[in-house]
């Protein structure tokens, strides 16, 4: 009886949050750890058999850093031959690493990884592509469309994790691509494929295999309607690198962004263009995101930004119009709506320029998304330009952070921003007063102390912009 009771307790289910992975003793509608609603699901233990026990030989194993210093040096990174992908990875693929690539359905994840797998295989790496969503013949059709039918990539169509791990152990590949992690299932988890428990178990087993055998494992993860990789966030903590593949349906541009990277800088991006022959890397993203700017337009401002370690110029577009509604609209695409509200409040409180009774629309051209606060001054310039119906000169870039007091704060990598602007033919820049411009940049830099001075020098007296 005691043995049966212990076995029953061992198999007792528990509840975990799909958003943060927190474990709860019972179900509830709201997770106390992260505050999300309807994310708690019932799970069963991953394993209750003898296989779950830790081998006695693996317990207490310790390695000294001095021993590692005298040991054989680890293998170097392997470049894929796709410069944009290598940039995001931090210089290439690291052996024994686990990489998670997420993105919307149809965004191009499988296309990118098939192209990258073909490049790795062409360099002599043993590359294995395992798909749980397509048959081998379907993958061959895509490879033929991409012109990769002669690539020495071995294909497999399987969803059973036990069979996949057996194949990986026998083949010992240098690179293994698993497409996708949501289709994998393991027989020692009593839930349906694609559930939180299955995704977590599959990711754990594949990551452990990568660390033990030196294989670089690349996992494909689906993205939910909230923009998060499906499954608990602990899956992201298991892997070494998390990449998001972003893009708008109406634009051919694709952004590969590093959200987490143990072997390189985070927030690094790679830019691709979707063509009939697959994804083509874009060597000069600034020229891609900037349209022809021969004729200045009101509400259009070029922002000199930095994504990761790469300077990039993008166009910010603003439109201000009288509203027929009691509550004016504030619509933002590609920027933080809360930060737009802050800029509007600072313009009203510190410069006397009110946007009450006016609809405000802000857009980042080309489908790009900007998160850095250095865009504050460029957004303010676009709003003022649209508000007064006055265009800035087309050869001028703008950047700087706006504080709540109305002052302008300098931002990092000012010299790189100016060099990128000069490379694309710009001759002037507007920046905060204390910006460190370094040596000669070839641009005429107009330094401004605060937002009120900016309004007076660039757009004339602030009184002319006040709401009548």
* Average pLDDT per block of 10 residues along the chain, 468 residues long: 45 71 84 84 57 44 64 74 92 94 88 95 94 92 92 93 94 94 86 81 94 95 64 78 84 89 89 90 83 78 91 94 92 95 96 94 90 95 94 92 96 92 91 83 89 90 39
**154-157 and 127-131 as β-strands: parallel, antiparallel, unpaired?**
parallel
Please name the residues in contact with 419: beta carbons below 8 A apart, sequence gap of 6 or more.
311, 441
- Position 68 scores a pLDDT of 60
In a 3-state reduction of DSSP, which class is residue 147?
coil
Picking from 164, 147, 200, the residue whose alpha carbon sits closest to that of residue 14 is 200
Q: Which residues contact 67 (CB under 8 A, 6 or more apart)?
A: none
- Residues 6 or more apart whose CB falls under 8 angstroms from that of 284 comprise none
Residue indicated by tokens 């001095």:
66
Full-model pTM: 0.78
Which candidate, 467, 316, 338, 296, places its Cα nearest to that of 383? 316
Q: Among the residues of 172-243, which ranges form H helices?
A: 196-213, 234-238
Q: Which two tokens stand for residue 359?
A: 């609809």
63: tokens are 């390695």
* Nearest C-alpha neighbor of 209 from the set 91, 135, 130: 130
What letter does residue 225 receive in the DSSP assignment? Answer: T
Provide the CB-side half-sphere exposure for 299 (13 A, CA).
Answer: 14
- Domains of the chain by start residue, with CATH: 12-45 (no CATH), 75-282 (3.40.50.300), 288-460 (3.30.230.10)
Distances from the Cα of 64 to the Cα of 219, 265, 397, 406, 446, angstroms: 31, 27, 52, 54, 55
């Amino acid at each position: 009886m005691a043995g049966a009771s212990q076995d029953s307790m061992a198999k007792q289910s528990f509840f975990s949050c799909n958003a943060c992975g927190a474990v709860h003793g019972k179900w509830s509608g709201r997770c106390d750890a992260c505050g999300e609603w309807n994310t708690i699901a019932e799970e069963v233990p991953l394993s209750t058999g003898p296989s779950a026990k830790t081998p006695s030989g693996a317990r207490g194993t310790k390695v000294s850093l001095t021993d590692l210093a005298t040991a054989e040096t680890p293998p170097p990174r392997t470049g894929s031959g796709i410069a944009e992908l290598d940039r995001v990875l931090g210089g290439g693929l690291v052996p024994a690493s686990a990489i998670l690539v997420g993105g919307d359905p149809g965004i191009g994840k499988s296309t990118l990884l098939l192209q990258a797998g073909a490049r790795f295989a062409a360099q002599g790496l043993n590359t294995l592509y395992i798909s749980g969503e397509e048959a081998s013949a379907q993958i061959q059709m895509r490879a033929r469309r991409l012109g990769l039918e002669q690539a020495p990539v071995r294909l497999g169509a399987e969803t059973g994790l036990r069979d996949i791990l057996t194949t990986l152990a026998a083949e010992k590949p240098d690179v293994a691509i698993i497409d996708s992690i949501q289709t994998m299932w393991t027989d020692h988890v009593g839930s349906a494929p694609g559930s939180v428990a299955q995704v977590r178990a599959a990711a754990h087993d594949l990551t452990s295999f990568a660390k033990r055998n030196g294989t670089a494992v690349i996992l494909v993860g689906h993205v939910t309607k909230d923009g998060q990789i499906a499954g608990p966030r602990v899956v992201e903590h298991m892997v070494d690198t998390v990449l998001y593949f972003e893009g708008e349906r109406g634009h051919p541009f694709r952004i590969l962004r590093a959200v987490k990277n143990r072997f390189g800088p985070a927030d690094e991006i790679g830019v691709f263009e979707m063509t009939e022959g697959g994804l083509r890397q874009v060597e000069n993203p600034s020229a891609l995101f900037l349209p022809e700017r021969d004729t200045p337009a009101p509400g259009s401002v070029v922002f000199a930004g930095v994504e990761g370690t790469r300077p990039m110029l993008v166009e910010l577009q603003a439109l201000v119009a009288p509203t027929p509604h009691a509550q004016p609209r504030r619509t933002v695409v590609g920027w933080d709506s809360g930060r737009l509200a802050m800029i509007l409040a600072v313009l009203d409180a510190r410069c006397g320029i009110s946007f009450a009774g006016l609809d405000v629309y802000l857009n980042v051209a080309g489908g790009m998304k900007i998160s850095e606060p250095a865009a504050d001054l460029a957004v303010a310039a676009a709003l003022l330009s649209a508000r007064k119906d006055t265009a800035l000169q087309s050869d001028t870039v703008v950047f700087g952070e706006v504080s709540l007091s109305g002052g302008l704060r300098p931002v990092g990598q000012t010299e790189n921003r100016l060099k990128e602007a000069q490379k694309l033919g710009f001759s002037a820049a507007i920046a905060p007063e204390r910006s460190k411009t370094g040596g000669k940049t070839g641009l005429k830099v107009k330094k401004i102390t605060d937002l009120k001075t900016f309004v007076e020098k660039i757009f004339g007296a602030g009184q002319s912009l006040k709401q009548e």
